[in-house]
Amino acid sequence: MSDGHLFAPIEVFNEIEKDDILGPWAKQRRTLFRPLDQEQADLAKEIVKDFPGLAKPGRFGPAADPFVVALTHLENRKQAAGLFDSPVRCIAVTDEGGGPQQIPAACRAGKLTCVNLVGLFQNEGWVFR
């Protein structure tokens, strides 16, 4: 996290900040959460047009899912625009299933990589002892 390698949109913070466990953890790691900008907001709106379930209709409060997909897409676009095409790509991490209105489906449609938490640990080579 300290090198900016792991990050999330601020909407994730907004979604978890009142949680008894995740809230205090997130507040101690506020720099992990990227601020919302217009480009991210506009892309999240476009994503919700194709995947309205990501906005959690009928649920009160923040819905971070479309912003997770939007930020993943925008970060990949930034990396691809660099002088050298980086083999490292931004990936979305979620433990959601593969339902048609969930993050993995939106990522597949946008040709984005999406893994679950265990997949992240494996990709990063993290070992917990």
107/121 Cα distance (integer angstroms): 19
Report the predicted TM-score, pTM, of the whole model to 2 decimal places.
0.88
Instruction: Read off the DSSP letter of residue 52.
Output: G
Range scoring the smallest mean pLDDT among 29-43, 77-91, 108-122: 77-91
Q: How far is CA 83 from the centre of its chain?
A: 25
End-to-end Cα spacing for the chain? 20
Would you state the pLDDT for residue 127? Answer: 86
Number of domains in the chain: 1
Greater confidence (126 vs 13) lies with 13
User: How large is the average pLDDT for residues 94-105?
Assistant: 91
Asked whether residue 2 is assigned to any structural domain, the reply reads no
Q: Does the structure show a pLDDT above 70 at 54?
A: yes
CA distance 53 to 100: 9
In a domain, 129, yes or no: no
Chain segment 67-90, per-residue pLDDT in tens: 999 999 999 988 877 766 665 688
pLDDT at 62: 72
Signed CA dihedral, 8, 12, 14, 19: sign only: negative
87 within a domain of the structure (yes/no): yes
17 Rama class: left (phi>0) / alpha (psi -120 to 50) / beta: alpha
Burial class (CB in 10 A: 0-12, 13-18, 19+), 68: buried
Percent of the chain with pLDDT over 70: 92
Average pLDDT over residues 41-53: 95
